[in-house]
Amino acid sequence: MKSNAMPSLASIGRFWLPVLALVVPLVLIVVVTGQFGGLSLQRTVVEMLISIVIVVGLYVFVGNSGIISFGHATFMAIAAYGSAWQTCCEMLKPITMSGLPHFLRDQSIPLLPSAIVSVLLAGAAAFLTGLVIMRLTGLAASIATLAVLFILNVVYSNWDSVTMGSASIVGLPTYVTAWLALGCAVLAIVVAYLYQISAFGLAIRATREDEVAAAASGISLYWSRLIAFTLSGFLVGLGGVLQAHYLGTVSINNFFLGFTFLALAMLIVGGMGSLAGAVVGVVVITAMVDIFRRLEGGISIGGQQWSLPAGTQELIIAAFMLLILVFRKDGIMAGREIALPQQPQREKGLING
């Protein structure tokens, strides 16, 4: 029953509510910690926002397709290294990364174009990988993404003249602020939301629920997954660039199993079935990691210095994730977006009409 062409303000609000419900609290967090928080809390907030970009990127593929990917750290690494080659340490590059082509080795490229190129590089890598891997289904695809992660790790750890092997590249310009990270997180959330309610998004969510039925309805498993994989490659690439230019260093060991575990834990704990789940998961896990990191660092209770042994944080995160899997398998948000209850008048209209 569409009587007028102009959508009303209420319907726009209803449309964007799942996004606003995530973005507004994030803005509040940034404003409040910016005003009142200490330096370490502000750092945690920026890290959280960057993680949101990455995990929302991961969600675009894993959440919508239902296929677990262990390979997304690959695209992050590709973007981060891409950005490092373009912007890092102009004086040292000819010595430390002598294998780079001339146009990269002997000059630096401005920050914005280099960031865009790096993100495009990650997306292109995801597209090419997806061309091959999306032909597989289910577990075989998951294992193949694991193979991709290992391939990149082996190549980048040994390609000494270009990646400096397993050593860290130090001295990237650190331009990422809380507001930039927030902007990128919002961008990622909006892109993911528009994608999941688009025809492509609905198609791939149908394949998640029932591959056979979706294929029988004319949905191509291959193309719908390839689109999601590529888009999510772009987003995690953006996350990779942000992380590189927030920390100022890039090291291949930060893009391996430990990181993959943390990103997947965030997605699973929040609930991989919805965008809200991805964001909530990041917030919850970041908070837990931060709290236990502080406890490991030591606090004083009643004048007594008291601290948890190092490594407790990892144990607790893993145990928490297992508990979630056992007792609340669909995560905290259980696959739901944040939305108002369904409009009652629409149903009435249906009955009357």
Partner 1 sequence: MANIVQVLVDAIALGSLYALVALAIGLVFGVMRLVNFAQADYITIGAYALVVPTASVTPPLLLGALPAAVMIGGVLLVVVVLALLTERVAFRPLRNSNPSTLLISSFAVSYFLQNLVMLIHTGRPKSVGIGQSLANAVEIGGVRVPGVQLLTMVVTAGLLVALVLFLKRTPLGVQMRAAAENFQMARLLGMPANRVIALAFAISGLLSGAVSLLLTIQTGTLDLRMGLMPVVYGFFATVIGGMGSLPGAALGGFLVGVASVLLQTYLPADLRPFRDAGVFTLVILILLVRPQGLIVTSAAKERV
Residues in contact with partner 1 by CB under 8 A are 66-68, 132-133, 135-140, 142-144, 146-148, 150-151, 154-155, 158, 211-212, 257, 261, 264-265, 268, 309-312, 314-315, 317-319, 321-322, 325-326, 329
Nearer CB in complex with partner 1: 241/317: 317
Nearer CB in complex with partner 1: 164/185: 164
Min dist CB 25 to partner 1, Å, is 27
**Judging by beta carbons within 10 Å of its beta carbon (0-12, 13-18, 19+), is residue 197 exposed, middle or buried?**
middle
Nearer CB in complex with partner 1: 234/259: 259
Supply the DSSP symbol for 89.
Answer: -
Q: Which residues are CB-neighbours of 228 under 8 A, at least 6 positions away? A: 60, 61, 64, 65, 195, 200, 201, 204
Q: What angle do CA 233, 235, 236 make, to 5 degrees?
A: 70
Min dist CB 154 to partner 1, Å, is 4
DSSP letters spanning 274-317: SHHHHHHHHHHHHHHHHHHHHHHH-EEETTEEE-PPTTHHHHHH
| C-alpha–C-alpha distance, residues 131 and 226, integer Å | 7
DSSP reduced 3-state for 256: coil
Q: In which residue are the tokens 């490092």 written? A: 84
Nearer CB in complex with partner 1: 28/143: 143
| C-alpha–C-alpha distance, residues 141 and 134, integer Å | 7
Nearer CB in complex with partner 1: 133/280: 133
